[in-house]
Amino acid sequence: MSGLFVRGSCGSSHSELRVLFTNIFRDTFLIGVRMNNTTLTKLTRQLPRLLLAALLILLPLTAAGCGDGRPPEQDTSAASDSPEGLVIVASIFAPYDFARTIAGEVAEVSMLVPPGVETHSFEPSPQDIILLNTADVFIYVGGESDAWLEKVVASLDNPGLTLVRLTELVATVEEEELEGVVELEEPGEEADEDGLEPEMDEHVWTSLRNAQTIVSSLADTFSGLDAGHAELYQANAQQLNDELGALDTRMTEIVKNAQRKTVVFGDRFPLRYFVDDYGLSYYAAFPGCSTAVDTSPATIAFLVDTVREQDIPVVFYIELSDQRIARSIAEETGAQTLLFHSVHNISKEDMEAGVSYVELMRANADNLEVALN
């Protein structure tokens, strides 16, 4: 990944090494901070990885001939395989896909969370920190589940970095309490540490209308930082927004012509912004960013009853889910299970196949049509 060493070439090898080590230990510290009760176990597990990372980072630097007497100018030109354009990093797939569609031809766009990884349990590597230290723009959600990223951002040595928080670009709503959901008590967990305060629902990108606002805003940000390509950014954004607008129209039509206006998710429910756009009601097993892996028999029973009573033909699961709860509701009721993609992240295979937000939402439209009829 050319982004890693672009600005870390040997011209200033010693201070650069110091920065790298500082970052690695800071990263170790951050991982520790995030992990609370399991800090020590986690740290022990992370150490070999961090040491390996340190070695991997040091090798290219020494191999590149630090201190071999070459003039610094040469080193600077050696790093010129870096693109002229912006270095853009997005935390998760939806904004990554928007950014690469808008700017991918002339910018280096990368995603922080690797494909196939559950975004809520993601931990950054030292390389991620280095990448963020070289970036021009960092796009992340700005919600409860990535609040720890603020600490990472605060620790960066990159004053020129432009931060874009998705939740600041559109109006947000609070997470609603789910009807019929009886939460399991987690063993050893302190009762309601966070109190009963409702949290902001952070899944703003699941609304096709919000997506268009986000796309326009990203195009403006990129244009402001790189005026030479402003026309290209705006044209690409317009084309993407035309597709998103057409999809929104299709969703509206599907809901308007549907037999029912209720969806059931045997899974987490990060789709509040999506259903709100079309006036759909919903039932689900977990709130949007829940880290719980199991639900109570009472919740399952409630969802089974709901599916039976309302004769609901489809129980949805979301991407990268084990589908266990959706399947058990489906088996109990004779409904079928279908995927509704919340576009947090995509699988490795989908990433390699170049799957886009628009394609995932088109598949969602097809499945929604089945579920509502």
Task: Candidates 54-62, 74-82, 175-183, 287-295: pick the segment binding Zn ion (CB under 5 A).
Answer: 287-295
Residue 87 within binding range of Zn ion, rule CB under 5 A: no
Question: For residues 233 and 286, which CB has a smaller minimum distance to Zn ion in the complex?
Answer: 286
Look at the block and give the residue holding tokens 């011209």. 11
Question: For residues 141 and 307, which CB has a smaller minimum distance to Zn ion in the complex?
Answer: 141
In the structure encoding, which two tokens stand for residue 259, read together? 């037999």
Q: How far apart are CB 218 and Zn ion at their closest, in Å?
A: 20
Question: For residues 53 and 318, which CB has a smaller minimum distance to Zn ion in the complex?
Answer: 318
Binding mask of the shown chain, residues 234 to 273, with x at each position contacting Zn ion by CB under 5 A: ------------------------------------x---
Q: Which residue is nearest to Zn ion (CB)?
A: 289
Q: How far apart are CB 181 and Zn ion at their closest, in Å?
A: 17
Asked whether 109 and 88 are in contact (CB, 8 A), the reply is yes
Compute the C-alpha angle 318/240/117, nearest 5°. 30
Strand partners, 217: none
Question: For residues 289 and 355, which CB has a smaller minimum distance to Zn ion in the complex?
Answer: 289
Residue 289 within binding range of Zn ion, rule CB under 5 A: yes
Closest-CA residue to 321 (of 270, 274, 261): 270
Task: Candidates 1-9, 51-59, 148-156, 284-292: pick the segment binding Zn ion (CB under 5 A).
Answer: 284-292
CA distance 144 to 33: 16
Compute how many residues bind Zn ion; rule: CB under 5 A: 2
Q: How far apart are CB 91 and Zn ion at their closest, in Å?
A: 11
Residue 10 within binding range of Zn ion, rule CB under 5 A: no
Task: Candidates 39-47, 175-183, 283-291, 326-334: pick the segment binding Zn ion (CB under 5 A).
Answer: 283-291
Residue 284 within binding range of Zn ion, rule CB under 5 A: no
Question: For residues 56 and 200, which CB has a smaller minimum distance to Zn ion in the complex?
Answer: 200
Question: For residues 289 and 315, which CB has a smaller minimum distance to Zn ion in the complex?
Answer: 289
Q: How far apart are CB 65 and Zn ion at their closest, in Å?
A: 45
Residue 141 within binding range of Zn ion, rule CB under 5 A: no
Task: Name residues whose C-beta falls within 8 Å of residue 147's C-beta, 6 or more positions apart in sequence.
Answer: none
Closest-CA residue to 282 (of 257, 256, 310): 310
Interface residue list for Zn ion (CB under 5 A): 270, 289
